[in-house]
Amino acid sequence: MKKYLSTFAGSAICGGFAFGIWPELWKSYGLMGGWIAATLIIGIMWYMNHYNGAILNPPGKIWLDQGWCIGSAGIAWGIVRFQGDISNFLYAVPTLICCLIGGALAGILVWKIRSCDCARKIN
């Protein structure tokens, strides 16, 4: 249970930083502020979540934790910001579906490449 709570907390902090700090740095310092935010926020969050083990990531399994948590935080931020009006969220559904299809196709491709004996034949 402790690992699930730390996963929730690490994900929430990552998403909160991405939507709380990143836009402000971008507004204040332009493109360079965006790059600085990307480096600092994602770097610090990766260190906290993965190196220190805040997020549960079982060995041999792949989980796109920081992508999911930032995406979830963005959806929640949009709904809260617009006071529960989810009509704007519905405009994003086709994009989300395309992202899920693309992610699934990429996963299948990686699985096929890793299960192929071609890499062993080259060496």
Torsions phi, psi of 55, nearest 5?
-100, 135
Number of domains in the chain: 1
Asked if residue 4 is part of any domain, the answer here is yes
- The model's confidence at residue 116, banded by pLDDT at 50, 70 and 90, is confident
Asked if residue 17 is part of any domain, the answer here is yes
* Model confidence at 113: pLDDT above 80: yes
**Within 13 Å of residue 113, how many CA atoms lie on the same side as its CB?**
6
**Rounded-to-integer distance, Cα 103 and Cα 81, Å:** 28
Is residue 88 within 8 A of residue 78, CB to CB? The reply is yes
Q: Over the stretch 7-48, which tens digit does the pLDDT of each residue have?
A: 788 888 888 888 889 889 999 999 999 999 989 988 888 888
Give the domain range for residue 72. 1-84
**Rounded-to-integer distance, Cα 70 and Cα 47, Å:** 16
Average pLDDT of the chain is 82
Q: Which of 54-63, 68-77, 101-110 has the highest mean pLDDT?
A: 101-110
Asked if residue 90 is part of any domain, the answer here is no
- Predicted local confidence at residue 30, as pLDDT: 93
